[in-house]
Amino acid sequence: MKFFIDTADIGEIRDLGKSGLLDGVTTNPSLIAKTGRPLFDALAEICAALPGPVSAEVTATEAEGMVAEGRALAAIAANIAVKVPLTWDGLEACRRLRADGTMVNVTLCFSSAQALLAAKAGASFVSPFIGRLDDIGQDGLGLIRDIRAIYRQYPDSIATQVLVASVRGPLQVVESAKLGADIATVPPKVLRQLVQHPLTDKGLAAFLDDWARTGQTILKQAAAE
């Protein structure tokens, strides 16, 4: 599974990017607004910091406006993925932007029928919002299961990647991976939580205590050789 980070905070992106574990970034108007920076400046810096896809969302609601905004966003950097909503106009814009060779992330997906249309429109990514479905008593992970089942039926004609969004915790990431989702986009907090386990911390502390009692250090040993 690939990991995208769901933030526009360049500090977080650079810090987590040092791990080499990040494959991309997703932003939206709300996340950009939190930075207090001009949109194009923020996106250009993010694209330069990480070579993977960087989703940048249009704000127009009609196809013509989405295409115009999408082309302007795509001109920022080669790794921009234009984000359009899963509406009729969004699907039209998706097809036209994909014809330009632009990556497109069709977002706000809440049903397998919508995901089928996104694939038909040639979307590079479709973003099912599983957390928001869970919030209203529906089965977010069940949607991922259904989308993967549909896409598997057409391996020669569907290249759309399932990008799990609105992730609330590590368990949703793991379950999405078990279902075969291609990507999970997660807030920085959730990405850091994936590495945490109390037994890891306890075991490391015990190893280090045992080693400290020897009075040795690896680098001093190496220098003495």
Domain containing 152 — which CATH number? 3.20.20.70
Q: Distance from first CA to last CA of the chain, Å, rounded?
A: 42
Q: Residue 17: which domain range?
A: 2-196
* Residue 69, number of CB atoms within 10 A of its CB: 19
CA 24 remoteness from chain centre:
6
Give residue 221's pLDDT.
84
Instruction: Indicate the average pLDDT of the chain.
Output: 97
Is the distance from CB of 42 to CB of 25 less than 8 angstroms? no
Domains in the chain: how many in total? 1
Residue at 159 is within a domain: yes
Task: Indicate whether 220 pLDDT > 90.
Answer: no
| 222 assigned to some structural domain | no
214 falls within a domain: no
Helix (H, G, I), strand (E, B) or coil at 24: strand
Three-state secondary structure call for residue 1: coil
Q: And the tokens for 40?
A: 């194009």
pTM of the full predicted structure? 0.94
The residues carrying an active-site annotation are: 83
Per-residue b/e over 141-153, b at no fewer than 16 CB within 10 Å? bebbbbbbeebee
Residue 56 CA to residue 66 CA, distance in Å, equals: 12
Residue 121 pLDDT > 90, yes or no? Answer: yes
Write the DSSP symbol of residue 137: T
Amino acid at 56: A
The answer as to whether 162 is a domain residue is yes
Residue-wise pLDDT tens digits, 122-165: 999 999 999 999 999 999 999 999 999 999 999 999 999 999 99
80-119 pLDDT, tens digit each: 999 999 999 999 999 999 999 999 999 999 999 999 999 9
What sign does the CA torsion over 32, 34, 35, 39 have? positive
Please check whether residue 201 lies inside any domain of the structure: no
In a domain, 216, yes or no: no
Per-residue pLDDT of 32-83, as tens digits, reads 999 999 999 999 999 999 999 999 999 999 999 999 999 999 999 999 999 9
In this structure, is residue 183 part of a structural domain? yes
CA-CA-CA-CA torsion sign (178, 179, 185, 190) = negative
- Assess if residue 217 is contained within a domain: no
